[in-house]
Structure formats: C-alpha cells, structure tokens
Structure 1
Amino acid sequence: MSVSIDISGLRQERVAFVPSPLAELGMALHALSEPGHHPGLQGWATGVTARLGTGLAGRMCEADFLWRTTFSDLFLPYAGVAGGGVLPGATLAEELDLVDKLSDEQFVDAALEFTCALTYDSQGAEVLAHPETRQRAVELAASRGPQQLRFTKRLLEDPPGVRAWFRQFLRDCDEAFFAETWSRLRPQLTADARHKTDLLRHKGLAEALAAASPMVTLDESAGRIVVDKLATGRTVTADGGLLLVPTSLGWPHLMVLHRFQWQPVLHYPVTSPDLTTPPPVEQLTLRMTALSHPMRIQLCRHLARSAFTTGELAKMHGMTAPEISRHLSVLKKAGLITTRRRGRYVLHQLDVTLVARLGSDFLEGILR
C-alpha cells in the first residue's frame, strides 16, 4: 500500500523544502496530546504541561481531535490557498493569515477530517451546501463523543466563529510555550531544508527524496513519487508544485497531504529518538501472533489514530461487523487494544504505549 503523487511535467524549481512554524505547532500539540506516539519527547511534554495554565490546558482539549487523532490540514494552509504555489510563512502570524485565505468550505472540510466522513483525494459533496453530508458529519461526530459533537455543530453553524477561536488559541499557545520551542527548533529545520535543497539542485529529486525519508521513492519511468504507508491515496502536483516540510517534533510520522485540489505536501521527520525496551519474552508470542494477520495490521493503523466502533471499521474495510469483531477479539485478548463505551457506542483503540514497547519497526509502520 502507498500514497502516490503524479509529478508528470513537474519542473525542479517548483519543488521546495521549507520549514513551517504552523505545521510544527500542530505537531507540538499532537505530542502533548499523544505522548505515547513520541517517547523521545516525554521530557519536553512534561515540562510544557507543567507550565500550562488551567485555562489553556482546557481549551487544548476542546478540539484536540484536530491534532490528536489526525493531522488536520488546517496546519498546512498554504497547500489550499487558491492559485497554488504558495510557500509556508516565515512566522506563525504569516501562516495564520494563510488560514484566513481558505474558503469556508475548505476550512470546514479540513476541520471535519477527524470524522472520516468525507472524501479526501477525490471530489466529494460540499458539506456546507449539502444537508445529507452535514447530517453524516454530525452522526459520525456523535459516535466520537459529546465534545466532538459540540464542536462539529458549532463549526457547521458558525465557520467564522470557529476560525477566530482557532486563530486565538494558536496565538495563545505560541505565547505560552511554542515561541520558545520554535526558536530552538527553527535553526535545525532551516539547515535541513537548505541541505535537501542543495541535494535537489546538484543531485536531483531522487537523491533529495531519499534523504528526506527512505520511505519516499521516485519512480521516474512512471513519473510519480511513491510514499510507503499503510494507506492508499493518490494526487497530482498540477500547477502548485510540491512542498516538503521538515519536522523535528513529528517523528515517526511521515505525513502526505493529498487532499483533492490542494497542493501536495510531504511532512517528513528529521530526528529519530530511541524507543523503550521491548516487552518480556513471555508476552511476545501472543502479541506477535495477533499482529501476524494483514487485516489486523490495517485495523491497528486506524486504531492508533482514533477510537472507532466495530461498524465504522467494517464499513472502512468492506467487511461484515462479525468479521471485524473476530479480529478485534484477537487483538483485545493480546492486550493490544482497549475498549470503552460512550452511550450506545462501543469504541476500540490501540494501546500505542504498549505497541511502542513491542517494537519500533511496527510502530513506525502504522504511524507513518
């Protein structure tokens, strides 16, 4: 499985390696919300959390699904600005201005990505204009919980109000902790982008992509870039070109923005902190056996990012609910997933911290 980017006719000068403060702030929020995804950042996360005021900490939970269960494209707004070819801003303020240039439909569509309700790499019904699509988004948000439901209703009813909330929240995060973090990380990311740009100019796109990540390859004969992920998707560079954005806080996540009619973006990690010690041998057999089936690996990919009901997983994979239940039962018996009830919904989620102890190769694969 992979995500492919059609680069037919792409000129080298339309490929850019550029750091993005807003994208790194998104990864900072993700690392604070999901420390199990980032064992090497636990010291940083603990220090930041200890300094947060109760007000900002509470607001951080208000819409954490924008950065906790997925990587909202709202943190890469330059990819969606009309006309294409827009680069990340040099400052967070400049990139927040780019968020304001997204249409209401683009803003809402990107914010609702956490519901898994809408098409991503193909043309779909506009959520603000189609009552059936709006209702589907509300229903899926309800399955996530009251917090997600409140946010979704508010977003659908008042996109400008949510924009203002989002912008002010990110400004407050910058003042509270991110400005200091970015001042430390920016030189490293700038140097990495400069190095990759030099490789691009002197050795070509294939060398530059390989340096960004060994999971990104150039298929010159087919005119496409292939990103090795436990996901399937496709997009084209069209007139906007190709952006590659380095992240220091994002390891092990290798993200590919391939949203329909947005400029493709590769968000790649530049550091690789060590993971924790593997579990005892007596636990390995049961867990590795549970993970030996390709369908259960696919389920782990989804459950690492968010909690899902059996019915949702069945629909995603084109299987029956009983078939999915049998796979979930094996994973649960091995202690790899947790289950909780929210009203009439039963939600399943991967224990990412436990999987991190099980092995870095598997963790990197499902989080890539």
Structure 2
Amino acid sequence: DLDLLDKLTDEQFVDAALEFTSALAYSSAGPHALDDPEVRRRAVDLAASRGPQQTRFTERLLTDPPGVRAWLRQFLEDCDEAFFAETWSRLRHPLAAEARHRTELLRRRGLAEALSSVSSALSLDETAGRIVVDKLTEGHTVTADGGLLLVPTSLGRPHLMVLHRYRWQPVLHYPVSSPDLAVPPSVEQLTLRMTALSHPVRMRICRHLARSAYTTGELAQVHGMTAPEISRHLGVLKRAGLITTRRRGRYVLHQLDVGVVARLGSDFLEGLLR
C-alpha cells in the first residue's frame, strides 16, 4: 500500500494531507493549495488554530511535498518494523473475516441492510441514490454512485469515521463488533475484577502495565519484589481478565487490557493513567 503513496501527484498528496484542516470545501471543487495563495493561507491559519506542530507541518508540506512524502513513508516503514507488523499479524485475519462477512451481507441482503449493520448513523435513501450519514456537521450526504469503501478497524469503538470529499470515493471507517463488548460481564466476573484491583501492589503493577508491556522480571525489578511474588499477582489479574500476555522469543510480555478496565469506570482508568 505504501507504493500507492508514491503514485500520487503532489497535488493529490497535499490535498489528502490537508484533510485534517478541511482546507478545501467539501461539496465542490476549488483551487488547490499549491496554486492558490488564499487557499494556502487558509490551510496555514486552520493549522495554527490546532497548535505549533500542525503549523510547522503544514508549512513544510506546502513548501516541500516530495520531502514530506519521503519522510512519511520512512516513518511508516519504521513503525512497521517497530510494532505494526506484529500487531497486524494478530489483527489481519479477524479483519479480513469481517470484510468477507460484510461483502457477503451486501451481496445477499443489499446495501441498506449492510449499512445499518455497520452503524445506526447510516441509512440509504434509495430514491436519491444517496447514503445519508447523520453525523456530518452540515447535513451532507454521501453519494453511492461513485462506489463506496468500507474499512473495518479494531480501534475507535464505538466511533464511525466518514471521509466525504468532492470527487473522492466515500470511505466509512467503522469498528468491528466485539463479543467482549456485546455480552456484559456477570456479577461474579465484576466481583473478581474489583477484588483483583483492590490490592495496592496489583494497583501499582496495573499502572505500569497500562502504559507498556513488561516481563515478570522487569516488574520484579521495578517493584523491588521477587519474580514468584510478581507472578502470583499477575495470575490474579489474568484470572480476572484484566491483563493479556504474549510471547516474544523467550520472553513473556504482560499488558493491561485497558478496554476491560475502562468499562469498570472512567475515573478508575484515569487514576491508573494519571
């Protein structure tokens, strides 16, 4: 997919990169930021309202699109090497299964039912040939004539992200359903989780595991405890469904399941992350 990035013209790349500032009108074509001083000024002004980093990025983007594109590609390749490849190896199969399911639903039941299954914010106006998205701020609709791209994601639940730009293919970025979220935990599970978190040592361990993954040995060193003592606390947290583990070579990494903890209460989660 990164090869597609290289195929974009400078105008297309800048237009896509400035999407976060809404520098161009959504409902009609207009002059381009690389050619029109007024559009360029508006893009910088909108970036400035979001902070100095956004301003510096926008100014560099408008001055040197090829340089920014090369930097972006290298950044994404570094991310892939650092963490994304491993994450993608775990997520690609369930996301591909979701895509196949949605395609089959579209083929068998039609666009209206496929859209409603993605989000209650979506509906099909068959008479006008439009997909209506009730979250768009100006009440715009997304036309179905030019095709539609549905992108499942493991992130962002429960938010639906909509890309709607003039002459762009509409994109709906939606979170996949999760069995863990669909079935509320039992009273016994909640009791187990709250009991596990009531111990001050386990609370301190969770504060570390909320930010990054650690091995048992690393946690023992940080907390001044023996590895068996840490293992017993980790066992309690794991039985309560509060942490996840994964193996990397000969090391076992533990990390807090922030999604599970968040459902126990936002104040509690903020206390861990403070």
Of 215-224 and 174-183, deviating more is 215-224
Of 221-230 and 156-165, deviating more is 221-230
**Cα deviation per residue 1:166-224 (whole Å; 9 max; x = unaligned)?**
11101111111111111111111111111111111222222222222232222223322
- The match for 1:231 is 137
- The match for 2:194 is none
**Cα deviation per residue 1:261-281 (whole Å; 9 max; x = unaligned)?**
11111111113576xxxxxxx
Label 1:183 to 1:220 Cα distance change in 2 as closer, same or farther (>3 A).
same
Q: What is the TM-score with the length of structure 2 in the denominator? A: 0.61
**Structure 2 counterpart of 1:208, one-letter code:** A
- How many Å apart are 1:254 and its aligned residue? 0.7
Selected match of 2:34 from 122, 128, 136: 128
**Cα deviation per residue 1:133-185 (whole Å; 9 max; x = unaligned)?**
21222233233332222211111110000000111101111111111111111
- The match for 2:200 is none
Q: Which has the higher contact order (CA 8 A, sep 6+)?
A: 1
Of 176-185 and 212-221, deviating more is 212-221
User: For 2:50 and 2:105, how far apart are their aligned partners in 1?
Assistant: 44
- Runs of 4+ that moved beyond 4 A: none
5+ long unaligned stretches in structure 1: 1-94, 275-352, 359-368
**Structure 1 counterpart of 2:133, one-letter code:** V
User: For 1:248 and 1:174, how far apart are their aligned partners in 2?
Assistant: 17
Q: Does 1:268 align with 2:174?
A: yes
3-state SS in 2 of match to 1:226 = strand
Check whether the contact 2:131–2:143 (CA below 8 A) recurs between aligned residues. Answer: no
- The match for 1:203 is 109
Q: Does 1:97 align with 2:3?
A: yes
- The match for 2:193 is none
**Structure 1 counterpart of 2:141, one-letter code:** R
Q: How does 1:172-251 map to 2 (within 5 A)?
A: 172-229=78-135, 231-232=137-138, 233-238=140-145, 240-251=146-157
- The match for 1:11 is none
Check whether the contact 1:121–1:235 (CA below 8 A) recurs between aligned residues. Answer: no
Check whether the contact 1:216–1:228 (CA below 8 A) recurs between aligned residues. Answer: yes
Check whether the contact 2:122–2:131 (CA below 8 A) recurs between aligned residues. Answer: yes
Q: What is the TM-score with the length of structure 1 in the denominator? A: 0.46
**Structure 2 counterpart of 1:236, one-letter code:** T
Which has the larger Rg?
2
- The match for 2:15 is 109
3-state SS in 2 of match to 1:144 = coil
Label 1:205 to 1:143 Cα distance change in 2 as closer, same or farther (>3 A).
closer
**Cα deviation per residue 1:20-76 (whole Å; 9 max; x = unaligned)?**
xxxxxxxxxxxxxxxxxxxxxxxxxxxxxxxxxxxxxxxxxxxxxxxxxxxxxxxxx
User: For 1:153 and 1:134, how far apart are their aligned partners in 2?
Assistant: 9
- How many Å apart are 1:357 and its aligned residue? 4.6
Q: How does 1:45-56 map to 2 (within 5 A)?
A: none
User: For 2:54 and 2:141, how far apart are their aligned partners in 1?
Assistant: 28
Q: How does 1:308-319 map to 2 (within 5 A)?
A: none
**Cα deviation per residue 1:93-115 (whole Å; 9 max; x = unaligned)?**
xx111122222112112212333
5+ long unaligned stretches in structure 2: 182-261, 268-274
Q: How many residues align?
A: 183
Check whether the contact 1:121–1:234 (CA below 8 A) recurs between aligned residues. Answer: no
Selected match of 1:153 from 47, 59, 72: 59
3-state SS in 1 of match to 2:49 = helix
Label 1:147 to 1:245 Cα distance change in 2 as closer, same or farther (>3 A).
same
**Matched-pair identity in %:** 70
- How many Å apart are 1:230 and its aligned residue? 5.1
Label 1:145 to 1:200 Cα distance change in 2 as closer, same or farther (>3 A).
closer
- How many Å apart are 1:237 and its aligned residue? 3.8
Q: Does 1:144 align with 2:50?
A: yes
